[in-house]
Amino acid sequence: MSEIELSISCTDCVRRSTPDCSDCLVSFVLGGEPAALELTTEMADVAVLLNAQGMIPRLKFHRDLSAQS
């Protein structure tokens, strides 16, 4: 089993519920406004290749630093 390389919590993203959210890799993969996405290294590599060919949207995650204590 592969280890998780990338874990994204959409609840921490400043772009949640914006037009960027609906055109993000996470929303594309999971649909709607998902809570989170976890990718292995291999899955992340495939996502990079597919994005480079224009086949999937890019990751638009941007952590909301104001929510951290």
Is residue 69 scored above 70 in pLDDT? no
- What is the C-alpha separation between 64 and 55, in angstroms, rounded? 28
* Dihedral angle, C-alpha 24, 25, 29, 32, nearest 10 °: -10
For 2, 12, 51, 65, the CA distances from 58, given in Å and listed in that order, are 22, 17, 6, 21
pLDDT digits (tens, 9 = 90+) for 34-45: 788 888 888 889
The tally of domains found in the chain comes to 1
pLDDT digits (tens, 9 = 90+) for 25-68: 888 888 877 788 888 888 889 989 999 999 999 888 888 888 66
How confident is the model at residue 53, as a pLDDT?
94
pLDDT digits (tens, 9 = 90+) for 10-25: 888 998 888 888 888 8
Q: What's the domain range around 43?
A: 4-67
> DSSP letter string over 6-50?
EEEEGGGBTTTTSHHHHTSHHHHHH-SS-SEEEEEHHHHHHHHHH
How confident is the model at residue 1, as a pLDDT?
52
